[in-house]
Amino acid sequence: MKLLQFFRKVALLEGISLILLMGIAMPLKYIWDQPEAVRIVGWIHGILFIVYIWMLFRVWIDRSWAFKRLTIAVIASLVPFGTIIFDRSLKREVEELSSA
């Protein structure tokens, strides 16, 4: 269960970093010619994305998720707010584990 809880935290951080990258850093670069924000936020997001994918595969194996759920989790990481929406199902899974 601790692995799943850690994955939830990584997923939320990855989702927030994608929102910051797309919603703040990219407009700063392309509208106001301020590329430094993309360098910083992009670097952070890149690391979080790699950790997210690594943790996703660990959770997929550990929890014996269906391939469909793995696919949904990967797609969620590519869409702004995707991991935040996907977190609802992760939260339910953690709650089910806690009550069992």
25-77: pLDDT as tens digits: 999 999 999 999 999 999 999 999 999 999 999 999 999 999 999 999 999 99
**Tokens (6 digits) for 63:** 């929890």
- Residue 64: its pLDDT value, please? 96
Mean pLDDT, rounded, of the chain: 96
- Residue 1: its pLDDT value, please? 76
**Distances in Å between the alpha carbon of 62 and those of 1, 21, 49, 54?**
10, 31, 20, 12
Q: SS3 for 24?
A: helix
Rounded CA separation 4/59 (Å): 6
pTM of the complete model: 0.93
User: Residue 92 pLDDT more than 90?
Assistant: yes
User: Residue 100 pLDDT more than 90?
Assistant: no
Query: In terms of pLDDT, which residue wins out, 100 or 8?
Result: 8
Q: Where are the domains of the chain?
A: 2-99
